[in-house]
């Protein structure tokens, strides 16, 4: 009797471990999927500020975030392919993370609203440690670009931008590797010069 009971217990423990690991994997997959289809924190904060100033019905066309892990995996994968141009591989090397949101509105964003967008976005981004790099507002569109201060030109470059154009609002946040971008520009510049 006692021998039978002790033989059953190890099998039950083994299934619990499998279920536990599966549960963790499912949870991690769920988190990864949620991360993939939502904006990162800074882009989300910028989006909230923009939409606090623009009172219009919006629909999401694109909302996607890719982080260093996914981009690194794609880079490794492309490294084995000989059909992908070197410039594409270099461009991918230049981007460490990116978060993009494209939203369509039910009407055009008016000039006064675009002024309010700037007034709403600026304090939010400044509080989060971003510096305003460019603001440009013309008849029908407004562009705001923020960066995070770096100590050195070779440090990763973080950029967050919002574009309000007509009935569309685009929010992008990206981290770029300056050296790879410079190398890409140098190769492209040489090719253009030869033409």
Partner 1 sequence: MNRSFRLLSVVSAFALAAVAARAADAGYVDLGKFKPAAGCEFVEVNIGTPLLKFASLFMDHDDPDAAALIKSLKHIRVNVVGLNETNRADTTAQVEKVRAELEAQGWTKMVTVREKGDTEDVAIYVKSHSDEAIDGIVVTVIDAKKGEAVFVNVVGNIKPEQLASLGRGLHIDHLDVNVKSKGV
Q: Which residues bind partner 1 (CB under 8 A)?
A: 111-112, 115, 118, 131-139, 147, 149-153, 155, 157, 178, 182, 185-186, 189-190, 193
CB of 116 to partner 1, least distance (A): 10
Please report which helix (H) or strand (E) contains residue 47, including its range. Answer: helix 41-53
3-state helix, strand, coil in the chain (%, to 5): 55, 25, 20
Nearer to partner 1, 39 or 146 (CB): 146
Q: Answer yes or no: are the C-beta atoms of 79 and 137 closer than 8 Å.
A: no
Q: How far is the CB of 11 from partner 1 (least distance, A)?
A: 59
Task: Note the Cα 94 to chain centre separation in Å.
Answer: 14
- 65: nearest Cα among 95, 86, 26: 95
Q: How far is the CB of 170 from partner 1 (least distance, A)?
A: 19
Give least dist CB 54 to partner 1, A. Answer: 14
Of 28 and 133, the one with the shorter C-beta distance to partner 1 is 133
Choose between 46 and 117: whose C-beta lies nearer to partner 1.
117
From CA 112, how far away is CA 158, in angstroms rounded?
29
| Cβ neighbours around 5 below 10 Å, total | 8
Q: Least distance from C-beta 133 to partner 1, angstroms?
A: 6
Which CB sits closer to partner 1, 38 or 147? 147
Q: Is residue 95 within a helix (H) or strand (E), and if so which, with residue range?
A: strand 95-105
- 39 vs 125, beta carbon nearer partner 1: 125
Q: Are 74 and 146 in contact (CB under 8 A)?
A: no
């Amino acid at each position: 009797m006692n021998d039978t009971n002790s033989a059953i217990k190890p099998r039950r423990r083994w299934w619990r471990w499998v279920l536990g690991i599966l549960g963790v994997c499912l949870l991690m997959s769920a988190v990864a999927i949620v991360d993939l289809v939502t904006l990162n924190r800074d882009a989300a904060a910028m989006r909230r500020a923009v939409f606090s100033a623009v009172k219009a019905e919006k629909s999401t066309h694109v909302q996607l975030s890719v982080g260093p892990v996914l981009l690194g995996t794609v880079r490794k994968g492309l490294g084995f392919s000989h059909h992908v141009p070197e410039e594409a591989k270099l461009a991918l090397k230049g981007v460490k993370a990116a978060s993009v949101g494209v939203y369509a509105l039910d009407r055009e964003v008016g000039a006064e609203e675009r002024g309010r967008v700037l007034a709403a976005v600026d304090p939010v981004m400044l509080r989060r440690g971003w510096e305003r790099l460019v603001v440009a507002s013309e008849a029908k569109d407004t562009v705001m670009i923020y960066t995070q201060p770096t100590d050195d030109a070779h440090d990763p470059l973080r950029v967050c931008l919002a574009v309000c154009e007509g009935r569309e609002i685009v929010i992008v946040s990206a981290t770029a590797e300056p050296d790879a971008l410079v190398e890409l520009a140098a190769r492209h510049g040489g090719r253009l010069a030869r033409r």
